[in-house]
Structure 1
Amino acid sequence: MDLFDDLPEPTQPGGPVTAARPRAGTEEEEDEKEEEEEEERRAKRKREDAESEADKKEEQGEIKKVCKEGLPVLKGYVAARRGERDEMQDAHVLLPDMSSCLSLPGQSSRVSYFAVFDGHAGARASRFAAEHLHHNLANKFPSTDSENVDKLIKKCLLDTFRQTDDDFLKKASSQKPAWKDGSTATCVLVVDDMVYVANLGDSRAVLCRMEAAADGQRRSVTLALSKEHNPTMYEERMRIQRAGGTVRDGRVLGVLEVSRSIGDGQYKRCGVISSPDLRRCQLTANDRFIILACDGLFKVFSADEAVKFVLNIVQEGSGERRAGLTEEEVQFEAACQQLASEAVRRGCADNVTVILVSIGFRAKSSSSSSSQHTQFD
């Protein structure tokens, strides 16, 4: 039953005022004419309602087709190289399923977490973030159903980064002498099939998505999932200068290469903040893998080169078979290790840490889902 059938036709407020015209016929004729017009309006409204209902059913049908793809199956692989540095200052975390650590809202069934932390002036900030950030995230993760889950997760991530930074700064300042360590952070949080990326500094995350080309072949498309923060960027430089800091030789006070970080207590008064850039992207059956890496990789690889390097190894299937691993797992493991080694071979003297997250779907549908790739408002 249409709930609006019994409601009167809405008036049109604010329309032009016209002068009253004399009635052309008898009152009975006019009444009959008005009744006919009213019937026509009701019939038109019913047709529009029927069309709207049909559209809703069609949309629901599309949603059901999308859901047939199932939840993505994620597996993480990591490779770390010290390079020419005296110390490995990178840290990383792989939690393909951290659902048991969370009180999930009713509509969610699985949460995955992957993160890379690139330390500077020491390894204490990166190791602290690797040990504590996901625990803070678990404590703050929304546990109630909500129509606006994106907004809740956004707040959760912002609060998580702020608390992790505050906790480290308190610990650092209590030491004698005070710790001066800092760290970038690139975290990928996957809630069912939605990816949320929180990023500080110059580590990066990129997604490999396969799309059909004009010749009928499938081509890889590289999607940036993160935004770098360095003092040469206009908005970053303006914030630093407003806080009383300076940018010299592309660095904060001529020293710090990044404009956002965890730690770096001596630069917080100069506009260096711990608020991450937040982005989200819905996974589809066309997605193959995500690369998370510190800037050591991207100093010698473009994002597109890194994606094609991994894709070539995975497609060639040149990895050695290992007990307990499927052929695909062997290929992704080999691709991850070879990508990190190639970065060192190309002359990167910095630490190199690469996390490769493979994406698969147990059940696929011929209908491709609509994707989102947006930045939070």
Structure 2
Amino acid sequence: MGAFLDKPKTEKHKLHGEGNGLRYGLSSMQGWRVEMEDAHTAILGLPAPGMTDWSFFAVYDGHAGSKVANYCSKHLLEHIINASLRVRGTQGSQAGLDSKTSAQAPPTVDAVKSGIRTGFLAIDNHMRSLSDLRNGMDRSGSTAVGILLSPEHFFFINCGDSRAVLYRNSQVCFSTLDHKPCNPRERERIQNAGGSVMIQRVNGSLAVSRALGDYDYKCVDGKGATEQLVSPEPEVFDLVRAPEQDQFVVLACDGIWDVMSNEDLCDFVKSRLEVSDDLERVCSEVLDTCLHKGSRDNMSVVLVCLPNAPKVSEEAVRKDAELNNYLESQVEEMLSRSVQEGFPDLVTVMRNLSTDSGMPPLPPGGGLASKHGVIEAVYNRLIPYREEDGQIKY
């Protein structure tokens, strides 16, 4: 279930890019966990004939180690592409196309969906041969949530309890479904494989019912790969893109979803995109907000902005600056009143601010937690003394 640090590690890995009509940013943070077990993939232009205008993004949430998550971040896409191309070639032959024509054409929707499923099963089977996983020295597993974008389609991919959402027409249009052991369909498979669901976990231990790796849960004789206690089979959803309506896609691990709903996160991202076009910054603000909302897990988020994504608004920038100024003035006033009675700690300051009825509107979905950094910065700047060698320094 994971051990925790005395204080969170808040250093972030950040990345951004642009191409194929998309802009993306990502950020990940270890947080309170003893080890960073998340990984990610961000590829603009797939290395396959007819797919250079396709893109792929994914988040992998590892558990019991990071080996499976890291391996999948490097190799899952190639398994998906190889499987999709094989299906494309078969379909081309059946349609009477020559091999050259078939190889240059983009794969069909059915070929992609079949290739994704086959690619997941193939990499899961292949990883069994990796020495640490084969001999039981490494028992790690990983969820995987991703999106494959063609010029016409979204292919949402999910295996586990990380999640992807599509924001269209200023509302959550689509969300992948979490694979939890207590879901009726998942519970039935687990029980048919001789397992049980206790405290909402597989055999009272694993919190997800589908994952890559986790081979201790995939050794039931007489059951196929997708019939085991834990299945590596992804769910794949294809949606036709709506360029005038699609705004952004968010992929995130459960360290995010534990403390924010689909609507909260999308509303918050929209509000931040109206203040800044720096996607790394927006993603980092998501992580900081979730940390201060109480997330104790590793956190990773990928934000893919489509051409109709929210743009920076002068009014939103002004209102955000006014809110920051208001918070600074309130903290300053709070500390100035406290000179005689002792200075409140930061937790007390946050609690007092949370009851302030005169505060300007906070970022939707983020609330006061999204302004923790602003409040902490002014708090540290205004504390009028430090103890150094027993001396009070003003």
Q: TM-score by structure 1 length?
A: 0.67
SS of residue matched to 1:152: helix
CA deviation profile, 1:191-211 (whole Å, cap 9, x unmatched): 11311011100000001111x
User: What does residue 379 of structure 2 align with?
Assistant: none
Residues 283 and 302, structure 2, Cα contact 8 Å, conserved in 1: yes
Shift of 1:340: 1.2
Tell me: CA distance 1:123–1:76, structure 2 relative to 1, closer, same or farther (3 Å).
same
CA deviation profile, 1:142-161 (whole Å, cap 9, x unmatched): 35388981211111001100
Q: How many residues align?
A: 266
Matched, 1:139 2:85: no
Match runs of 1:268-287 below 5 Å: 268=218, 269=220, 270-284=228-242, 285-287=244-246
User: What does residue 352 of structure 1 align with?
Assistant: 299
Tell me: CA distance 1:195–1:110, structure 2 relative to 1, closer, same or farther (3 Å).
same
Shift of 1:96: 2.1
Q: Percent identity?
A: 30
Shift of 1:334: 2.2
Residues 111 and 191, structure 1, Cα contact 8 Å, conserved in 2: yes
SS of residue matched to 2:295: coil
Letter in 2 for 1:310: V
Matched, 1:297 2:297: no
Q: Structure 1 segments of 4 or more deviating over 3 A?
A: 145-148, 172-178
Tell me: CA distance 1:177–1:155, structure 2 relative to 1, closer, same or farther (3 Å).
closer
* Higher RCO structure (Cα 8 Å, ≥6 apart): 1
Whose Rg is larger?
1
Letter in 2 for 1:295: D
Q: 1:236 aligns with which of 186, 190, 193?
A: 186
Q: 1:187 aligns with which of 135, 143, 146?
A: 146
Shift of 1:307: 0.2
CA deviation profile, 1:189-241 (whole Å, cap 9, x unmatched): 0111311011100000001111xxxxxxxxx1102331110100001000100
Ranges in structure 2 where 5+ consecutive residues have no aligned partner: 1-18, 89-101, 221-227, 310-394
Moved more, 297-306 or 140-149: 140-149
Letter in 1 for 2:41: V
2-side partners of 1:281 and 1:194: how far apart?
6
Letter in 2 for 1:274: P
2-side partners of 1:174 and 1:205: how far apart?
28
Matched, 1:256 2:206: yes
Matched, 1:102 2:40: no
Matched, 1:74 2:58: no
User: What does residue 340 of structure 1 align with?
Assistant: 287
1-side partners of 2:136 and 2:269: how far apart?
44
SS of residue matched to 1:192: coil
SS of residue matched to 2:130: helix
2-side partners of 1:116 and 1:174: how far apart?
21
Matched, 1:124 2:48: no
SS of residue matched to 2:264: helix
User: What does residue 202 of structure 1 align with?
Assistant: 161
Letter in 1 for 2:269: V
Q: 1:225 aligns with which of 175, 195, 201?
A: 175
SS of residue matched to 2:32: coil
Residues 72 and 193, structure 1, Cα contact 8 Å, conserved in 2: no
2-side partners of 1:202 and 1:132: how far apart?
20
Shift of 1:176: 4.4
2-side partners of 1:95 and 1:186: how far apart?
14
Residues 190 and 196, structure 1, Cα contact 8 Å, conserved in 2: yes
CA RMSD of aligned residues (A): 2.1
Tell me: CA distance 1:171–1:282, structure 2 relative to 1, closer, same or farther (3 Å).
same
Letter in 2 for 1:112: S
